[in-house]
Amino acid sequence: MSADRLSMKYREGVDLFLEFAEKKASNPNFVHCPCMKCGDMERMKIFKIKEHLFRNSIDKSYDALERYYLEKRNRRSVAISFTEYRCPEQPDGNQCGYYSIRFIKSFTTENNPTRKLETEFKRNISSSYTNKEINEIRDEWAKYVMQMIAAGK
């Protein structure tokens, strides 16, 4: 866009450029501003860029297509993997609160809860807690509730 900023040709060029930039931007609220002042270093909304292009003119060396392809080439995709961790299940298929509490306590009281999840619960998907383990958590919960009642909470 080498036309005079007051000309119709410049206005049309700005509109075409902004339309292109908005379509190709990964986030239309943060598009690089190619005006002489910003020098393609600032990101802003399209309407602000339009103001800048009329106030400050465009950097004559700016090439929108080159910028788009450069950004596209520099994007890196990140592989995301998911791992399922399951709480040991009750033999009858129901899920009581004590089972859930026991599960949560088993890895939150560890120094390395992530390791506990990865080693124990990834491996033992079909395991279940023993009656002794459930009774321990039941007793612990009852003691906690009694302490809260005694404290007036």
| pLDDT at res. 62 | 61
Q: Which segments in the chain show pLDDT lower than 70?
A: 1-3, 59-77, 85-87, 93-95, 120-126
DSSP code per residue over 18-63 = HHHHHHH-SSTTSEE--BTTTTT--EE-HHHHHHHHHHH-B-TT--
> Residue 139 has what pLDDT?
92
pTM, two decimal places = 0.39
Here the tokens at position 153 are 């909470």
Per-residue pLDDT reduced to its tens digit, 77-118? 677 777 776 667 777 766 678 877 887 887 778 787 777 777
- Ordered by start, the domain boundaries in the chain are 8-74, 97-150
Report pLDDT for 30.
83
